[in-house]
Chain A
Amino acid sequence: MSTATTRTSPPIGTLLMRGLFDENPVFRLALSLCPAVAVTTTVKNGVMLGVAVFVVQVLSSVSASLLRPVIIPKIRVPLFVIIIAIWVSVMDMVLAAFYPDIYAEVGLYVKLIVAFAIIISRMELFAMKHPPMPAFWDGFGMGLGFLVAMILTGALRELLGSGSVFGIQIVDFNPLLLVILPAGGFFTIGLIMALFNWVDVKRGIAVKDDYKGCHG
């Protein structure tokens, strides 16, 4: 984790880049994996969940940053959870009302956004220590990183698994059923993670293999 000091906020570009690549929530931090594997059988589902997480992340980060003065440090985690739960409920109802057909498939995972470690960890590590504007951009970057990860995985799986993207047939071949199966999600994410590592090797950065899991 980068060492952001309490008052000085990093520039917007750094914040965005961090969310998209250096600390990509899915491929780097390995947080919020459940939906990344589960709903990415098609791009459409991936986009829907990605957008939901993006919105919840931005709103929660900004809320936490705004409420900084009144949040009692001792009970901050339950308070964060409640803030997230409120925004997730809002998102859940909006999606259920406007996109009922996709919601039928990914509804459970939309509700489970509450338990995503990425959102609460950004609130704890960044939003609590910074004013609303940087917190907004940090949430923006992380949310965008997640959205991009969902689109990337979704596109790859839909293309290989059914030869289409966004439901539009692109290539005509015998689909690789394995990619759509539960196991395929794990394989795809593993391969994309390896790709990220490969880019790191090319950039001359040592690959970290001492992954310790999510810290909360």
Chain B
Amino acid sequence: MADAKVLNNNQILVEGPLPTDPESVRLVRADDADILLEVTAVSPGSEPGTFLVTTTETLQTADHYLMTLAGSDLMWSIAPSAMAVLVAGVIGSALINNMVFTRYLGLCVFFGVSRKKETAIGMGVTFTIVGLLSGMLTWALNEFVMRPLSLDFLQIIAFIGIVACLVQGTDLVLKKVNKVLHGKFGIYLMLITTNCIILAVPLLNATNEANLVEGFALALGSGLGFALALFLFSCARERVDMAPVPVVFRGLPIAFIVAGLFALAFLGFSGLSFL
């Protein structure tokens, strides 16, 4: 397999012999190999032995493409690097598909601990760390134990068990190792078990059959996204608490309206595409 990479929005740089006839080049996305991407031109690249393939489609560096030639066994696989997958995954799950504002997960804890900036930061940090740990543990369990043994139906019980054990374990270790830190973050640890995000990450990973990098990116991104959402929301809520809100809207109702406004703002990220 020869080397190839996405050069810009609609050009691919290919190493190896290519006919100059664009009709004979077959370019598809790895996800849906049935849909041909239209190739308009094949031209020689700047270095000898390299060619530029131009298409009308907008190419994404984070996507995986396959290229074949008519009447030939040659195949090019244009896959993104692990780093690109990681960055795209983290940004995707932290901003574009923010767990709180677009998937509505973890709302219970979200409304519960967002009254003060201090608690919001504490919860955000604790959750990101524990979420990453549990995400990796459950990924390994799913990949090496449950999938080979076809134990899919035990997913829910196994994942929630791991999360509960991990939270309890972290609590014990933290208590022994660092009393001060435990006094500060211990209370948030206990709340994590009721946070749906911690369970949603392994379930989503299992459904998407994510590989290690994708799983890591989702776990990290959702943790960071939750922390960000919590911090922003607590800043707004500290101010709302001071504001003269109509009696019937006081407390939770106005908090929901504010969260709705945040969700509207996060919609702006949905057009975000980079790399």
Contacts and interface: CB of A to CB of B under 8 A. Distances in A.
Interface stretch (A44-52, A128-136, A137-145, A208-216): A208-216
B190 A88 contact: no
Main secondary structure of the interface of B (DSSP, over half): helix
Contact of A85 (B102, B113, B160, B193): B160
A152 interface: no
B194 A88 contact: no
A37 B259 CA distance: 11
Nearest to A184: B260
6 contacts: A33-B108, A85-B160, A120-B194, A197-B248, A210-B251, A216-B190
Nearest to B249: A194
A28 B187 CA distance: 24
A191 B246 CA distance: 12
Given A182-B101, A184-B260, A115 B193 contact: yes
A111 B155 contact: yes
Contacts of A19: none
Interface residues of A, number: 51
A190 B259 CA distance: 9
Given A89-B157, A214-B109, 10 more contacts: A92-B156, A183-B101, A189-B256, A190-B252, A190-B255, A197-B249, A201-B248, A211-B252, A212-B112, A213-B111
B253 interface: yes
A31 interface: yes
B247 interface: yes
Contact of B263 (A30, A93, A183, A213): A183
Nearest to B263: A183
A52 B106 CA distance: 19
B62 interface: no
Contacts of B101: 182-183
Interface in A9-39: 30-35, 37-38
Contact of A182 (B104, B157, B254): B104
B156 A114 contact: yes
A38 B104 contact: yes
A118 to B, nearest CB: 9
Contacts, number: 148
Interface string A167-189: 00000000000000111111101
B91 to A, nearest CB: 18
B200 A117 contact: no
- The interface residues of chain A, by DSSP majority, are classed as helix
Nearest to B199: A115
B248 A198 contact: yes
A209 B247 CA distance: 9
Nearest to A120: B194
Contact of B260 (A88, A115, A187): A187
Given A34-B196, A115-B195, A115-B199, A183 B251 contact: no
Given A112-B200, A191-B253, A209-B251, A81 B263 contact: no
Nearest to A191: B253
A-B residue pairs, 10 tightest by C-beta: A213-B112, A190-B256, A186-B260, A209-B251, A183-B263, A33-B107, A38-B104, A194-B253, A209-B250, A197-B248
Interface centre among A93, A115, A194 (most CB of B within 10 A): A115
B267 interface: yes
B111 A190 contact: no
A156 to B, nearest CB: 14
A89 B153 contact: yes
B57 to A, nearest CB: 28
Contacts of B200: 108, 112
B260 A183 contact: yes
Given A32-B108, A187-B260, A213-B111, A88 B156 contact: yes
